[in-house]
Structure 1
Amino acid sequence: MSPGEKLDPLPDTFILQPPVFHPVVPYVTTIFGGLRAGKMVQLQGVVPLDARRFQVDFQCGCSLHPRPDIAIHFNPRFHTTKPHVICNTLQGGHWQAEARWPHLALQRGASFLILFLFGNEEMKVSVNGLHFLHYRYRLPLSRVDTLGIYGDILVTAVGFLNINPFLLKSPRLEVPCSRALPRGLWPGQVIIVRGLVLPEPKDFTLRLRDEAAHVPVTLRASFADRTLAWVSRWGGKKLIPAPFLFYPQRFFEVLLLCQEGGLKLALNGQGLGATSLGPQALERLRELHISGSIQLYCVHY
């Protein structure tokens, strides 16, 4: 498998559409395929020191006249005596009853990471890794096909993801983390590691150890020189010639697909090639070890 080649389609694709970096606000974009339960929108940015308010609207269309319905209106307000957040729905040109949260989890002059997670009946919002609010749908989620961002906000990145809600429900796992592989690995098995990169990361390492506690293969990310490499007992260090997809304070998903004689790698849904192992090496592997500058949320195999 050549570097950069896509893996075979998987049931849950992590990235639904390309991320957008440093968009100019006001910013309006199409949500590919619309919204549905299980989708997530990730918003990173900075609140200006003089911010009064901004809003993130999940809209039913993008027309100017008439104004489209807004299924979910997320509106932090900083200029009042008690900063707060308003959520609401606009239908037929009329706002419905406001839902208000008095404790604003955003601060002027501070950076943030907001995750909007869409469930079957409500949207959940987390700010900087902590659950903040939930808002029940008043219009069908299936009608939403547009994202609008307006007001006093500096946006550094917008991501559109399809991911299980482990980010809001699962506790963090201790790092370094070890998991036993009592039966070894076999072709067709998938290892999934999900987590959050720390603000000032140094490295991330995923090791697979055999019965003799040797390390036949290591996947290592170095944030200092922004390189990703396989390190093995046989071939030494082999750089992966692909864009470095780990970013500080962003979530990631590493996927290893076991195959005869080696492992295929995908990071955030992008195939990054494969590495070879010795004959029958998979079945002799007995431990998965993860360490580095991350918060770990999920290890699945």
Structure 2
Amino acid sequence: MAFVPAQGYYPLYNPPIPCRSPIYGGLRAGMAVYINGMIPHHANTFAVNFSCGQYDGSDIALHFNPRFQGKDSVVFNSFQSGNWGGEENRKDGFAFRKGSPFEMVVLINPGGFQVNVNGAPFYEFRHRMPMERVECVHVTGDVTIQSITTVGGGALMGGGPSYQPGGAVTLPAYPSMSLPVMGGPMYNPPVPYLGNIHGGVTPKRTFVVKGFIPQGGQSFHINFKSTATNEIALHFNVRLNEGAVVRNSFLRGNWGNEERVANFNPFIPGQYFDISIRTGNGRYKVFVNGQQFCEYKHRFANLQMINALEIGGNIVLSLVQF
């Protein structure tokens, strides 16, 4: 079962460092880049560069550089025509801890890069060169990356990148200046979350949920629901206190038989996760952090009547997109 990303949602999972993650079709306002990773205990420094080329020495529109030497600080800068610009520093409110996971989100605004760390605004770096020149995210230094995800990019032709065994990415072909913006991502929505699925659940549609499980969390759930019948077509329930992930349906006033079988359990308190649920003709296909997790056969036949997505429990949401 191959992983198929949602339109306008292009993740790269567990890349070796240094790594370059392409920006499909170039950077533009309204897009966002999510970087989930871990800071090792021996860390001295790492850098996230929004680079204007795929090679060393390319211009850099945004250089984001946490430094753990002496007094912890984060340096922002740009690199153009072989020279660094003037540094901008944030020394207070250092958001990175050795031995801890982090989530960095870069929101692309018309005037600059808005950088959020662990769900909170961190710094705005004003554009010093056209954002459209950015071709990739380049990560180097003392850091482990779980995923780099571009949200809002993508190609009109070719359907986006294809994912090969081992994490290799094949880029699609696309015509210039004809790249659609993905509709409907919700950044940091509150919990409980309720979203309307316009047109119902149709085949070959992917639902993405990114979030964080706080320490002490007991459970959270994702429900695909029909509000007309008050039935739940898919109940995806992560039970941390049981070490299980339960799938079920609530039909005609009763719960059905639970499904619990899985080859692994990727949900850990204190960690970030990425769930993609793709609807097929006969089943849901669930991927977690880019890995196949389970399938669930349809028990609610009329998919177009499934018009609500509910998320609740002990979870902090960073993105919901469908």
Give the match's secondary structure for 2:258: strand
Judged with a 3 Å threshold, the aligned counterparts in structure 2 of structure 1 residues 92 and 228 are, in CA distance, closer, same or farther, namely: farther
**TM-score, normalising length from structure 1?**
0.68
Give the match's secondary structure for 1:138: coil
Matched, 1:45 2:38: yes
- Looking at structure 1, the residues matched to 185 and 309 of structure 2 have their Cα atoms a distance apart, in angstroms, of 23
How much does 1:197 deviate?
A: 2.8
Instruction: Give the residue type in structure 1 aligned to 2:237.
Output: R
1:204 aligns with: 220
**TM-score, normalising length from structure 2?**
0.65
Work out whether residues 13 and 289 of structure 2, in 8 Å CA contact, stay in contact via their aligned partners in 1. Answer: no
Structure 1: which 5+ residue stretches go unaligned? none
Give the match's secondary structure for 2:129: coil
How much does 1:73 deviate?
A: 0.9
Give the match's secondary structure for 1:68: coil
**Aligned ranges for residues 154-233 of structure 1 at < 5 Å?**
154-163=143-152, 166-167=186-187, 170=188, 172-175=189-192, 186=200, 188=202, 194-200=209-215, 201-207=217-223, 208=225, 215=232, 217-223=234-240, 224-225=242-243, 227=245, 229-233=247-251
Judged with a 3 Å threshold, the aligned counterparts in structure 2 of structure 1 residues 265 and 230 are, in CA distance, closer, same or farther, namely: farther
Equivalent pairs counted in the alignment come to 278
- Looking at structure 1, the residues matched to 81 and 14 of structure 2 have their Cα atoms a distance apart, in angstroms, of 30
Matched, 1:276 2:298: yes
Work out whether residues 46 and 155 of structure 1, in 8 Å CA contact, stay in contact via their aligned partners in 2. Answer: yes
Work out whether residues 191 and 299 of structure 1, in 8 Å CA contact, stay in contact via their aligned partners in 2. Answer: no
User: Which is higher, the Rg of structure 1 or of structure 2?
Assistant: 1
Deviations 1:101-157 (A, max 9, x none): 232423453522222233344222111111101112222333333433334x23142
How much does 1:173 deviate?
A: 2.0
Work out whether residues 209 and 217 of structure 1, in 8 Å CA contact, stay in contact via their aligned partners in 2. Answer: no
Work out whether residues 76 and 104 of structure 1, in 8 Å CA contact, stay in contact via their aligned partners in 2. Answer: no
Deviations 1:239-279 (A, max 9, x none): 576876656532545557598xx774565797965532356
Give the match's secondary structure for 1:142: helix
**Aligned ranges for residues 1-301 of structure 1 at < 5 Å?**
4=1, 12-14=7-9, 16-21=10-15, 23-24=16-17, 27-31=18-22, 33=24, 35-37=26-28, 38-46=31-39, 48=41, 51-64=43-56, 67-81=57-71, 83-111=72-100, 112-151=102-141, 153-163=142-152, 166-167=186-187, 170=188, 172-175=189-192, 186=200, 188=202, 194-200=209-215, 201-207=217-223, 208=225, 215=232, 217-223=234-240, 224-225=242-243, 227=245, 229-233=247-251, 236-239=257-260, 249-250=271-272, 252=274, 264=284, 275-278=297-300, 283=305, 289-296=310-317
Instruction: Give the residue type in structure 2 aligned to 1:236.
Output: N
How much does 1:74 deviate?
A: 0.9
CA RMSD of aligned residues (A): 4.2
- Looking at structure 2, the residues matched to 225 and 216 of structure 1 have their Cα atoms a distance apart, in angstroms, of 23
Instruction: Give the residue type in structure 2 aligned to 1:229.
Output: R
Judged with a 3 Å threshold, the aligned counterparts in structure 2 of structure 1 residues 219 and 269 are, in CA distance, closer, same or farther, namely: same
- Looking at structure 2, the residues matched to 269 and 251 of structure 1 have their Cα atoms a distance apart, in angstroms, of 6
- Looking at structure 2, the residues matched to 209 and 264 of structure 1 have their Cα atoms a distance apart, in angstroms, of 16
How much does 1:57 deviate?
A: 1.9
Instruction: Give the residue type in structure 2 aligned to 1:18.
Output: L
Judged with a 3 Å threshold, the aligned counterparts in structure 2 of structure 1 residues 211 and 104 are, in CA distance, closer, same or farther, namely: closer
